[in-house]
Structure 1
Amino acid sequence: MRRLIKLDCIPKFSIDSKYKCTTCVEAKQTRSSFKSVERITEPLDIIHTDVCDLKSIPTRGGNKYFITFIDDSTRYCYVYLLKSKDEAIDKFVLYKTEVENQINKKIKVLRSDRGGEYVSPFADICAQNGIIHECTTPYSSQQNGIAERKNRTLKEMMNAMLISSGMSQDMWGEAIVSATYILNKIPFKKKDVTPYELWMGRKPSYKYLTVWGCLAKVVVPPPKVQRIGPKTVDCVFIGYAHHSSAYRFLVYDSKNPEIHNNTIMESRNASFFEEVFPCLRKELPSSSTPVDEIVHDKDQEQLEAEEVEPRRSKRQMIEKSFGPDFLTYMVEGEPQTYRDAVTSSEIPQWKETIKNEIDSILQNHTWELVDLPPGCKTLGYRWIFKRKMKADGSIDKYKARLVIKGFRQKEGVDYFDTYSPVTRITSISLVLAIAALRNLEVHQMDVKTAFLNGDLEEEIYMEQPEGFSAPGQEGKVCKLVKSLYGLKQAPKQWHQKFDQVMLNNGFKINEYDKYVYVKNTMRGYVILCLYVDDMLIVGSDDKMIKSTKDMLKARFDMKDMGLADVILGIKINRTQHGLVLSQSHYVEKILEKFNEGDTSVAQTPVDTTQHLSKNKGEGVAQLEYSRIIGSLMYLMTCTRPDLAYAVSRLSRYTSNPSSEHWKSMKRLLRYLRYTRNYGLHYGRDPAVIEGYSDAHWISDMKDSKSTSGYVFTLGGAAIVWKSSKQTLIARSTMESEFLALDKAGEEAEWLRQFVEDVPGWPKPMLAICIHCDCQSAIGRAQSAMYNGKSRHIRRRHNTIRQLLSMGVISIDYVRSKDTIADPFTKGISRELVHKSSRGMGLKPFEQVCTKENLS
């Protein structure tokens, strides 16, 4: 307009420069520009951080991400590799501890984006240490430009290093670390000094730097030197050792039998050939190469291929040993057949475990070779291969099992009865709680070939295993003398044999869990829990535990695993004040498998405003839904009572889930992400069993049945719990509470009878107190007569009255806000979830450790 007025195209008029046109703003509004900021800071005044996801294959150690911490003043950078984003908090604590100790200053400000890895508990740690946690504006990564540019530079350098050297993509972790090491010793634009000099206070040395990915002749360590043969091995240079004046190498070609290819070693004695890159592919023929030198006659090629026998390697196969410090991670599925195992990339490991399995079978005299009698048929077999994983996700060991095809057995002919020796999870929790109360040691043993110990009474024949046929007796079959994996009666025969051995050595069976054995002597006592082939041994005396182990080793092929670490996927952590049971690694596997893309969290497992009902339309991802429910059920049964109501509620719709059910499921997984480090903490007191019972009457008009729940604690943590839909229709709140009280009384009776056989438990037995928040239900239970018309209530009234009169239980009133059984019957608020979880002994393992360190 001003230009038109200046050119006299339109009449002159005044224009208000402060006026804003709302239409123009709505149509033309853009983001505000970002301006560079000049800051004068001291070391550790501001730390910039960011997590980078390369969306590539994992490194050799299973890392998928890396996190950087850059000091604003010196631009000195630390980098850490991560397996998952939730490890960011652990790396920050590690970084904070190191730099504050080295610089003798405190971190004041931490700047990051709004990623899920930087929310609670990351923000809580910053607040506890007085660190201001600055977050960028949503969708404005430019405000964290220093960290973003550093990550981009590192990725570009890493990509160039991999391409120029020809290294595989799983080496990107080594490349990132090396690139960071080099950038710290290069001056940045605004200053003529290096970050290393500003951070360390001395100039860096460049004499030892060399080309990444080049060939290196590394001297063989003295213990592995051969008198005849080369004194070096061919390696590829992959970086610099952390806090050590050594180089890191990847063994490329080794002629030394004790140093294996594709392993990582550190050394300072090496000769580098910086123009040779062993991993680079050979160059293709150039366009200037004559055609007649490249293209050959097809008929002649075919004739040569038919006449010349394929070349076979004469090198002797050598078993590989990567050493105790080398962690391997699963990159492919288990072999399905014997041939798959002996032709896979892990031949030495599978061959060794197959040989061990056959040796165990032969040493145990499991079969004898005979001619197949007329009219008899042989059963086939199959090899089962499995990798056993540690709690951190690395491979613990390789296992192979020779399994007979027992599904072809006929009941009444080949077997008559079958069952497995499996102790209750409640029994294991109760025994561990007792161990925490009395400060007892908990040991673990494993039977290498449990089912091979049972003696068979039936005649069963099996084919000879492939690759292990007896020379000269290939036509014979195996007549089984002892049990073999896969037989219908194998678990029963194993239990009978184990039962007999334990009873002959002075052990007694707990009458309320047949797979818990107790031995009480003048010297002390031992409690043993059997779960198929895994054993927990708790004793009051080291000599008693040792004598029990020696007895078992003399009768069975046992593996002594020392102090119990992981049992049935449950991690047992020892603290100064007791034991902590957690399944954080299992939680990580669930989240990685079913909720990988979602990084948000929820602080309650159930949305109290959402009402679920049966889906009458088409189901949504029913198979995936049922898999999540199955995974969560095992977690809830073992160590997570706070999930009981949510899992019980969602499992009702497994057959036909709707989008609303999936919405609740996603919220539960978000809560699981928020509480992934929770564990049950059993302490030294109180040394009495207490119970809490609760019920929630019908809350939905479409449903006619109530929900009941109970939980029992010992040593300050839950030992058994349950949340379930009642099978009967309750016509009032009192009736629903009474039904829940009956279920809790049934569980209390079992607990009391179980601990009666535990040595040292106070006698006479005290009644187990059950807390209930319904005074009318308590009054009904204490009343001698029942005048109601409900037959099912009358029967339960008689049962509760009998338990009260026998002194098995006692009932006490507790206010609703103080009962910890409330989350087993309905969704509750965030504060009550936190309060009830602490009441059940459920809290983060890091918090437990922190409190003990402070004390």
Structure 2
Amino acid sequence: MQDIPSTYTQAAKSTHWQQAMQAEYQALQQQQTWTLVPPPPNKKILGCKWTYKKKTLPNGQLDRYKARLVALGYDQQYGVNYTETFSPVAKMTTIRILLTIALNRNWKTTQLDVSNAFLHGDLHEEVYMRQPPGFIDPKAPQSVCKLQKSLYGLKQAPRQWFDKLTQFLQTQGFRFSRSDPSLLILNTNNAQIFLLIYVDDILITGNNEELIQILLSALQSKFALKQLGEISLFLGIQIIKHPTGLFLSQRHYAERLLQDAGLLDSKPASTPISPKTKQAQADDPPFHDPTLYRRLAGSIQYLSITRPDIAFAANQICQHMHHPTNTDHQAIKRLLRYIKGTISYGLPIKAGDLNLRSYTDADWASDTTDRKSISGFCTFLGPTLVSWTVKKQVTVAKSSTEAEYRALSAATSDVIWIRRLTEELGVAQPEPTIIYCDNISAIALAKNPVFHARTKHIEIDYQFIRQHIHNGNIQLNHISSTDQIADIFTKSFTPARFHDLRRKLTIQDQNC
């Protein structure tokens, strides 16, 4: 966006950015984030800087100016001023499943935001930081900040905040989900409450609105919590109410992406990737701006959260980020022109039955550089697409059957995890989940031990799938290649075939 400063000197010239910095500094003081002390000898003193962002409403209009003080955590040393850093965040599949179940049960899904979330985390290590630009204490200009609370930019900041929040939630009766550690569950007196955490963005839903309000009051007494009402914009994803359910869209994000690439006025393409696979050229010159390529590729990958129709093309593009060529850049432009023509498309969430079904496919030895195969699979919860994956297989498959079987094994793992998650959410799957595969040999291999001696190199996958068939968790059904939805995740197609698969994937225009 324009007029967003990159330095304190630039920001200090604008009144609204000065006010934003002042508000952030006051919040830091109220939280008693640090105390000023003389610089300690033989201790690393971290730097800090201000970052600036314009916060927008779901319709793209300006909401407010946001300034944030960030510690320069890249100077931290493991074992000295930080140790563990891992902090879980909600899986996108979990978010889609939770929204689907809430829609089917007519539950309200409330969105929460915690102001200065990382400032709530307690620090256990000694961390020192220079005073923030523009806010140096005139009485102690040489002093440094000894951090008492966590701060944005510190390596351990996300973990400390997550621990602080979840410890409090456990005192309120919540327990961690076994399937997704960012999901917390409260079951008490016929009440079911689910709370999902993605850093400082939180979703809460359940069948007892009165109990939810009591819990929110308890949270507000402990943290600087804002109730944003019913979910409408979460992690940059618009959640739009439709007569038939919800619609997930990243239209504004896609528009900014096209603007960044200079393709807002480009001619739309009918498919995200050319149906004709181009062979790698040894003399293909490197793209002149690999940083731009990587930035666009990363943005496209995030856009695929609501656009599984571009997942295969995004996967192909991201495989060349280490050394992009001009041909790779043309592939990005082709994909962006497809996005331009389908900018209002997204993922619907509809009410219906809550039975799981999955589709899996593989394209054998499709990568001409190393002859590895591409796996693709997707899973529906009733009429709603909740999970999908495109991935190049780790090892070279010796046959199409082996490639399909490895894809089938990966899909089985995903299905077993989703079955466990839905059971915790109160939607148990009493019947085996049907996985549709278009390879007869792969299905026969899973059911017939006669093939076992000839396929020792995939024995683990073989035993894994056989076990879950025997336990009644999955059931393998054959499907024709024409009806195989997962085809869209493994290869490129002509416009007619691609549009047919996209329709079966349920991706549609927001206005439909």
TM-score scaled by structure 2? 0.93
* Cα drift, residue 351 of structure 1: 2.5
Matched residue of 1:738: which SS? helix
Give the counterpart of 2:302 among 634, 642, 649: 634
Q: Distance in 2 between matches of 1:369 and 1:531?
A: 32
When the two structures are aligned, how many residues end up with a matched partner? 511
| Structure 2 residue 488 is the aligned partner of structure 1 residue 842 | no
CA contact (8 A) 2:279 2:368 kept: no
| Structure 2 residue 449 is the aligned partner of structure 1 residue 779 | no
* Cα drift, residue 833 of structure 1: 2.1
Q: Distance in 2 between matches of 1:658 and 1:472?
A: 56
* Cα drift, residue 655 of structure 1: 3.6
| Structure 2 residue 464 is the aligned partner of structure 1 residue 799 | yes
RMSD value, Cα: 2.3
Q: Which residue in the other structure is 1:652 paired with? A: 319
Question: In structure 2, do the counterparts of structure 1 residues 522 and 597 end up closer, same or farther at CA, with 3 Å as the change threshold?
Answer: closer
Question: In structure 2, do the counterparts of structure 1 residues 612 and 435 end up closer, same or farther at CA, with 3 Å as the change threshold?
Answer: farther
Q: Which residue in the other structure is 1:334 paired with? A: 5
Question: In structure 2, do the counterparts of structure 1 residues 650 and 476 end up closer, same or farther at CA, with 3 Å as the change threshold?
Answer: closer
Q: Which residue in the other structure is 2:293 paired with? A: 625
* Cα drift, residue 745 of structure 1: 0.7
Q: Which residue in the other structure is 2:278 paired with? A: 611
1:666-703 Cα distance to aligned partner (Å, 9 max, x none): 33222212211111111111311210001122357665
CA contact (8 A) 2:255 2:264 kept: no
Within-5 A mapping of 1:498-647: 498-596=165-263, 598-613=265-280, 615-623=282-290, 624-636=292-304, 638-647=305-314
Matched residue of 2:83: which SS? coil
CA contact (8 A) 1:681 1:716 kept: no
CA contact (8 A) 1:717 1:839 kept: no
Matched residue of 1:821: which SS? helix
Give the counterpart of 2:121 among 454, 460, 480: 454
Query: Deviating runs (4+, > 6 A) in structure 1?
Result: none
Q: Distance in 2 between matches of 1:755 and 1:532?
A: 23
**Which residue identity is paired with 1:533?**
D
CA contact (8 A) 1:436 1:715 kept: no
CA contact (8 A) 1:803 1:809 kept: yes
Gaps of 5+ in 1: 1-329, 848-855
Question: In structure 2, do the counterparts of structure 1 residues 715 and 584 end up closer, same or farther at CA, with 3 Å as the change threshold?
Answer: farther
Question: In structure 2, do the counterparts of structure 1 residues 831 and 544 end up closer, same or farther at CA, with 3 Å as the change threshold?
Answer: farther
TM-score scaled by structure 1? 0.57
Q: Distance in 1 between matches of 2:245 and 2:363?
A: 34
1:87-121 Cα distance to aligned partner (Å, 9 max, x none): xxxxxxxxxxxxxxxxxxxxxxxxxxxxxxxxxxx
* Cα drift, residue 820 of structure 1: 0.9
Q: Distance in 1 between matches of 2:49 and 2:463?
A: 55
Matched residue of 1:737: which SS? helix
Question: In structure 2, do the counterparts of structure 1 residues 404 and 439 end up closer, same or farther at CA, with 3 Å as the change threshold?
Answer: same
Q: Distance in 1 between matches of 2:437 and 2:509?
A: 28
Give the counterpart of 1:826 among 470, 475, 491: 491
Q: Which residue in the other structure is 1:667 paired with? A: 334
* Cα drift, residue 517 of structure 1: 0.8
Q: Which residue in the other structure is 1:487 paired with? A: 154
Give the counterpart of 1:416 among 74, 83, 105: 83
**Structure showing greater relative contact order (alpha-carbon pairs closer than 8 Å, 6 or more residues apart):** 2
**Which residue identity is paired with 1:838?**
R
Q: Which residue in the other structure is 1:741 paired with? A: 408
Q: Which residue in the other structure is 1:365 paired with? A: 32
* Cα drift, residue 821 of structure 1: 0.6
| Structure 2 residue 394 is the aligned partner of structure 1 residue 730 | no
1:584-615 Cα distance to aligned partner (Å, 9 max, x none): 11111222222526532222223223334254
Q: Distance in 2 between matches of 1:427 and 1:472?
A: 51
Within-5 A mapping of 1:709-720: 709-720=376-387
Question: In structure 2, do the counterparts of structure 1 residues 506 and 677 end up closer, same or farther at CA, with 3 Å as the change threshold?
Answer: same
Larger radius of gyration: 1
CA contact (8 A) 1:612 1:660 kept: no
Question: In structure 2, do the counterparts of structure 1 residues 663 and 458 end up closer, same or farther at CA, with 3 Å as the change threshold?
Answer: closer
Identical pairs, percent: 37
Question: In structure 2, do the counterparts of structure 1 residues 551 and 835 end up closer, same or farther at CA, with 3 Å as the change threshold?
Answer: farther
Q: Distance in 2 between matches of 1:435 and 1:683?
A: 11
Question: In structure 2, do the counterparts of structure 1 residues 555 and 639 end up closer, same or farther at CA, with 3 Å as the change threshold?
Answer: same
1:510-567 Cα distance to aligned partner (Å, 9 max, x none): 1121111111222522211111111111222322332232121111011211111111
Question: In structure 2, do the counterparts of structure 1 residues 798 and 786 end up closer, same or farther at CA, with 3 Å as the change threshold?
Answer: farther
Q: Distance in 2 between matches of 1:719 and 1:366?
A: 40
Q: Distance in 2 between matches of 1:658 and 1:459?
A: 46
| Structure 2 residue 363 is the aligned partner of structure 1 residue 692 | no
Give the counterpart of 1:761 among 413, 427, 430: 427
Q: Which residue in the other structure is 1:814 paired with? A: 479
Q: Distance in 2 between matches of 1:813 and 1:391?
A: 43
**Which residue identity is paired with 1:761?**
V
Question: In structure 2, do the counterparts of structure 1 residues 790 and 400 end up closer, same or farther at CA, with 3 Å as the change threshold?
Answer: same
Question: In structure 2, do the counterparts of structure 1 residues 813 and 600 end up closer, same or farther at CA, with 3 Å as the change threshold?
Answer: same
Question: In structure 2, do the counterparts of structure 1 residues 565 and 812 end up closer, same or farther at CA, with 3 Å as the change threshold?
Answer: same
CA contact (8 A) 1:717 1:840 kept: no
Q: Distance in 2 between matches of 1:518 and 1:360?
A: 31
Q: Which residue in the other structure is 1:683 paired with? A: 350
Question: In structure 2, do the counterparts of structure 1 residues 457 and 620 end up closer, same or farther at CA, with 3 Å as the change threshold?
Answer: closer
Q: Distance in 2 between matches of 1:470 and 1:619?
A: 50
* Cα drift, residue 506 of structure 1: 0.5
* Cα drift, residue 627 of structure 1: 2.7
Question: In structure 2, do the counterparts of structure 1 residues 456 and 607 end up closer, same or farther at CA, with 3 Å as the change threshold?
Answer: closer
Q: Which residue in the other structure is 2:22 paired with? A: 355
CA contact (8 A) 2:367 2:373 kept: no
Matched residue of 2:287: which SS? coil
1:139-159 Cα distance to aligned partner (Å, 9 max, x none): xxxxxxxxxxxxxxxxxxxxx
CA contact (8 A) 1:622 1:655 kept: no
Matched residue of 1:719: which SS? strand
1:785-812 Cα distance to aligned partner (Å, 9 max, x none): 5434443322210111112122222111
Matched residue of 1:441: which SS? coil
CA contact (8 A) 2:36 2:146 kept: yes
Q: Which residue in the other structure is 1:119 paired with? A: none
Q: Which residue in the other structure is 1:343 paired with? A: 13
| Structure 2 residue 379 is the aligned partner of structure 1 residue 379 | no
Matched residue of 2:485: which SS? coil
Matched residue of 1:799: which SS? helix
Matched residue of 1:596: which SS? coil
**Which residue identity is paired with 1:694?**
D
CA contact (8 A) 1:612 1:661 kept: no
Q: Which residue in the other structure is 1:243 paired with? A: none
Give the counterpart of 2:388 among 703, 715, 721: 721
**Which residue identity is paired with 2:303?**
L
Question: In structure 2, do the counterparts of structure 1 residues 530 and 732 end up closer, same or farther at CA, with 3 Å as the change threshold?
Answer: same
Matched residue of 2:347: which SS? strand
* Cα drift, residue 507 of structure 1: 0.6
Q: Which residue in the other structure is 1:183 paired with? A: none
Q: Distance in 1 between matches of 2:154 and 2:366?
A: 49
Range with bigger deviation, 352-361 or 829-838:
829-838
CA contact (8 A) 2:284 2:326 kept: no
CA contact (8 A) 2:264 2:340 kept: no
Q: Distance in 1 between matches of 2:86 and 2:367?
A: 41
